[in-house]
Amino acid sequence: MTQFGGPKFVKEREKQKVLQRQVLNHLKRNGPKSYDNLYITFDLDRKANIGPALQELKELHHIDISKDRTVRITEAGLQAIDSSGPSKLIPLTETKGGQHEVQGADR
């Protein structure tokens, strides 16, 4: 059982925030995408981590999911990834190979 605030919980939470940042950046670069397309793009390990990530982004009003299941980044989502101030999302840097790296996180 994962304890809130324990090391395992913190690590999982960091992974969730990284995934959220990747989704927002993807939507910013590529425009609206179908919900199913985001599952195919981001759930490569088939652990269904994308569902909770999208749900939290929706609750934070960072994305909008239409009736036809098209996911769009909102103005709040753009501000969350573009702001230079504190953010609820973990900052990422993209390396030359297209891999993402978490800033300030111990691995």
Q: Are 12 and 18 in contact (CB under 8 A)?
A: no
Tell whether 15 is covered by a domain.
yes
Query: CA-CA distances (angstroms) from residue 1 to 4, 8, 24, 51, 107?
Result: 10, 10, 30, 21, 22
Tell whether 65 is covered by a domain.
yes
Tell whether 73 is covered by a domain.
yes
Tell whether 61 is covered by a domain.
yes
Q: How many domains does the chain have?
A: 1
Tell whether 2 is covered by a domain.
no
What is the C-alpha to C-alpha distance for residues 14 and 2, in angstroms, rounded to an integer? 14
Tell whether 23 is covered by a domain.
yes
Q: Could you report the per-residue pLDDT of 43-93, keeping only the tens digit for each?
A: 777 776 888 999 999 999 999 999 999 999 999 999 998 873 444 444 444
Mean pLDDT, the chain, as a whole number?
78
44: phi then psi, degrees, rounded to nearest 5: -65, -30
Range of the domain at 88: 7-102
Q: What is the CATH number of the domain that holds 67?
A: 1.10.10.10
Tell whether 107 is covered by a domain.
no
Query: For residues 21 and 10, which has the higher predicted lDDT (pLDDT)?
Result: 21
Tell whether 1 is covered by a domain.
no
Q: Could you report the per-residue pLDDT of 24-49, keeping only the tens digit for each?
A: 999 999 999 999 999 888 877 777 68
